Amino acid sequence: VDDELVRIYRLPPFYRAQRIEDLLGAIVVGLAPHTSGGVAGRIVGFSAAEACLAPPVFHAAKRRNCDGDEDSVTLLLDPLLNFSRSFLPSSRGALMDKPLVLTTRVDPTEVDGEARNVDVGCRYPLALYRAAEARQAPKEVEPLIDIVAHRIGGPHALSGYGFTHDTTDLAGGPVQSAYRRAGSMDRMVAESMGLAAKIRAVDLAEAIGLLLNTHFLPDVMGNLKSYATQKFICKSCRESYRRPPLALRCSARGHDGALCGGELLPTVHEASVRKYVPLTQRLSRTPGVSPYVR
């Protein structure tokens, strides 16, 4: 951004950062993928983790939760200097990933309820453990816990959040999301299902049923639909066909009136439709998965 100011706009540099620490205190714009609402924040430190560590209300304002989704921050001057509505392409999805609006103040009453459920106390009362022993419903013990929702309207709605376990390093845990490490979808699924199988509270067959019903089956059906309704394109003249002509050859005519006759190519490939079918079939064979899903 500084190079741009100096070389293109003939202005003095703004950040003048020599070392990463020089950016401490700089205002950034947080923007989550596939959204268009940026949220202003300030850099207060750096961490070795491949993560954006911020208060829960900041993440929620970006419409993210803290479950390992991708995320981004940009130095404020970058979108101010390089963003304009007139740069946006007219294609579908053009409004995504662009800071069309910028939130400068986060309000815990305006974000997703999830962030208001985060517990921010420094200790749990004995009554909580007694209630757990008596198997009381979470809703009944909620008044015992210091959560963000209880602080709304007070002076500590956004500050003074507590925690129960101290650490010497904020990045003391895993520094990279297991999703990043896994690489392929096969391994990602295998690793999460391996974990699910170890957790007593998880019914593995039900978890797989949910995964199939909410992710893989709609994905396979969507891909099949786009395969069946795909356009074809001529290999020689790039003429596009909504449906392939029965002659299976390009029927366009050039400037001289000659028939093109070029080979027609599919625009959706069979492999992209079949991609998750073997994995879906393998998962559906897990004992206990409902026969309806199978």
We find the least distance from the C-beta atom of residue 263 to Zn ion, in angstroms, to be 9
143 with 93: CB under 8 angstroms? no
Rounded to an integer, what distance in angstroms lies between the CA atom of residue 7 and that of residue 24? 25
We find the least distance from the C-beta atom of residue 41 to Zn ion, in angstroms, to be 53
Task: List, in sequence order, every residue forming a beta bridge with 38; answer none if it has no partner.
Answer: 102
User: Looking at 121, 262, 275, 293, which residue binds Zn ion (CB under 5 A)?
Assistant: 262
Q: Quick one: 177 or 230, whose CB is closer to Zn ion? A: 230
Q: Quick one: 67 or 256, whose CB is closer to Zn ion? A: 256
We find the least distance from the C-beta atom of residue 250 to Zn ion, in angstroms, to be 3
Q: Quick one: 26 or 260, whose CB is closer to Zn ion? A: 260
Torsion angle, CA of 197/203/205/208, rounded to 10 degrees?
-80
Task: List, in sequence order, every residue forming a beta bridge with 241; answer none if it has no partner.
Answer: 232
Rounded to an integer, what distance in angstroms lies between the CA atom of residue 216 and that of residue 208? 10
Start-to-end Cα distance in the chain: 54
Q: Quick one: 82 or 267, whose CB is closer to Zn ion? A: 267
The answer to whether 250 contacts Zn ion (rule: CB under 5 A) is yes
We find the least distance from the C-beta atom of residue 257 to Zn ion, in angstroms, to be 14
User: Looking at 112, 239, 275, 293, which residue binds Zn ion (CB under 5 A)?
Assistant: 239
| Of 3-11, 160-168, 224-232, 250-258: span binding Zn ion (CB under 5 A) | 250-258
- As given in the structure block, the two tokens for residue 144 are 């015992």
* Cα 74 from chain centroid (whole Å): 17
**Amino acid code (one letter) for 126:** L
How crowded is residue 47: how many other Cβ atoms within 10 Å of its Cβ?
13
**Residues in region 56-95 near Zn ion by CB under 5 A:** none
Q: Quick one: 211 or 250, whose CB is closer to Zn ion? A: 250
| Of 17-25, 104-112, 261-269, 274-282: span binding Zn ion (CB under 5 A) | 261-269
The answer to whether 260 contacts Zn ion (rule: CB under 5 A) is yes
How crowded is residue 276: how many other Cβ atoms within 10 Å of its Cβ?
19
We find the least distance from the C-beta atom of residue 245 to Zn ion, in angstroms, to be 11
**Residues in region 196-235 near Zn ion by CB under 5 A:** 234
Alpha helices in the chain (DSSP H): 2-7, 56-61, 77-82, 113-116, 126-133, 138-141, 148-151, 178-182, 185-198, 204-211, 217-228, 270-274, 277-284
Q: Quick one: 186 or 263, whose CB is closer to Zn ion? A: 263
Going by DSSP bridges, is the β-strand pair 232-234/73-75 parallel, antiparallel, or unpaired? unpaired
User: Looking at 237, 268, 279, 293, which residue binds Zn ion (CB under 5 A)?
Assistant: 237
We find the least distance from the C-beta atom of residue 252 to Zn ion, in angstroms, to be 5
Contact residues for Zn ion, defined by CB under 5 A: 234, 236-237, 239, 250, 252, 260, 262
